[in-house]
């Protein structure tokens, strides 16, 4: 009997596919998310739009808060650790969270190294804005990738950019002959074996979700049609006027992403979406996707 293998780590991500992972900050929100049909929840202290507004240092959530959420729902509970903060990850593993998100949404703890994720039994999901970044995270042991988007903005434009970038880069690799892959690996700053695997298989070696800025059922379906295998929705649900209804609508839109009749139906009658931010107004230096 073996626990903590890459097979069971990546296997849980396979089971989450086609689903919606919702950010929640307390037990009540977790219950609403589960009731809306979320396939997992992300436990955190504040949703990204509040982190963005508050400034300062954003850290791992309080263990009490995480436990409270774990006791409330039966679906998987994920939690965020700061980039490179392997002790926060050790604490989250001790709490038996189901997935750790080594997340740029929190303030990075190490500017040059990510967590060595092979050392953990609990699986990790990491953000990426392009193929090279995704493969570097996989080489460090990430069992799931999510495109970063720009968290807390309610603006899907960066999520689209990152998904299109990764898809285009995979297509480009697939068209190369073997001799060209060495140079491609160097340019991507990614291990050659992983680059070769992607070229041969035409996809990432782990599940890839979309995240960052999704706020409507149409946003979720857009990302699914662009090739996402599922979606994370952060501020988009609990910063909207009617979280329960919006959550359910986004779940249905993610399942029926190719069915415009259903998309029209579930998009109707939802109250105000979260207020959005234009990326141009944020300023390049304030983007968290470059962390």
Partner 1 sequence: MPALFRETQNAKLGTGNWKLETEQPSFTIGVIALQGAFREHCRALESAGACAREVRRRRELEGLAGLVIPGGESTTIGKLMVSYRLLESVRALAGAGMPVFGTCAGLVMLASGVVEGDQPLLNLMDIEVRRNAFGRQVKSFEADLDVPLLGEEPFHGIFIRAPWIERAGQDVEVLARYDAHPVAARQGGMLVTAFHPELTGDLRLHRLFLEMAVSARREGPPAAALRSLGN
* Separation CA 222–CA 138 (nearest Å): 25
| Separation of CA 234 from chain center | 9
Looking at beta carbons only, is 147 or 155 nearer to partner 1? Answer: 147
Closest CB 52 distance from partner 1, rounded Å: 29
Q: Which chain residues interact with partner 1 by CB under 8 A?
A: 1-8, 10-12, 14-19, 34, 37-40, 70, 74-76, 93, 96-99, 118, 121-123, 138-139, 191, 193-194, 197, 203, 205-207, 251-252, 254-256, 259
Assigned token pair, 108: 């990075």
Closest CB 282 distance from partner 1, rounded Å: 33
Residue-wise DSSP of 153-209: S--THHHHHHHHHHHHHHHHHHTS-HHHHHHHHHHHTS-HHHHHHHHHHSS-SSEEE
Looking at beta carbons only, is 15 or 168 nearer to partner 1? Answer: 15
Do residues 84 and 103 lie in contact, with contact meaning Cβ atoms separated by under 8 Å? no
DSSP-derived 3-state class of residue 143: coil
CA distances from 283 to 104, 118, 212 (A): 17, 36, 17
Closest CB 147 distance from partner 1, rounded Å: 17
Looking at beta carbons only, is 12 or 60 nearer to partner 1? Answer: 12
Q: How many CA atoms lie within 13 A of 32 on its CB side?
A: 17
Looking at beta carbons only, is 62 or 96 nearer to partner 1? Answer: 96
* Separation CA 66–CA 39 (nearest Å): 17
Closest CB 267 distance from partner 1, rounded Å: 15
Looking at the annotation, which residues are catalytic? 80
């Amino acid at each position: 009997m073996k626990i903590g293998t890459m097979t069971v780590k990546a296997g849980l991500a396979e089971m989450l596919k086609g689903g919606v992972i919702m950010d929640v900050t307390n037990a009540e929100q977790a219950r609403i998310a589960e009731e809306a049909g979320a396939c997992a929840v992300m436990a955190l202290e504040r949703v990204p739009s509040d982190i963005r507004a508050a400034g300062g240092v954003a850290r791992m959530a309080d263990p009490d808060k995480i436990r409270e959420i774990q006791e409330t729902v039966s679906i998987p509970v994920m939690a965020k650790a700061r980039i490179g903060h392997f002790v926060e990850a050790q604490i989250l593993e001790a709490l038996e969270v189901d997935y750790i998100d080594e997340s740029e949404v929190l303030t990075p703890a190490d500017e040059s190294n990510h967590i060595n994720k092979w050392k953990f039994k609990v699986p990790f999901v990491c953000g990426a804005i392009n193929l090279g970044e995704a493969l570097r995270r996989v080489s460090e042991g990430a069992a799931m990738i999510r495109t970063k988007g720009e968290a807390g903005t309610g603006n899907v434009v960066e999520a689209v950019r990152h998904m299109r970038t990764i898809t285009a880069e995979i297509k480009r690799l697939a068209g190369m002959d073997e001799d060209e892959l060495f140079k491609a690996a160097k340019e991507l700053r990614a291990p050659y074996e992983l680059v070769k695997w992607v070229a041969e298989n035409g996809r990432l070696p782990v599940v890839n979700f979309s995240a960052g800025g999704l706020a409507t059922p149409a946003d979720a379906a857009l990302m699914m049609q662009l090739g996402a295998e599922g979606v994370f929705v952060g501020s988009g649900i609990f910063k909207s006027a009617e979280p329960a209804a919006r959550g359910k609508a986004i779940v249905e839109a993610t399942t029926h992403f190719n069915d415009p009749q259903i998309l029209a139906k579930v998009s109707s009658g939802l109250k105000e979406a979260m207020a959005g931010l234009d990326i141009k107004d944020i300023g390049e230096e304030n983007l968290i996707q470059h962390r």
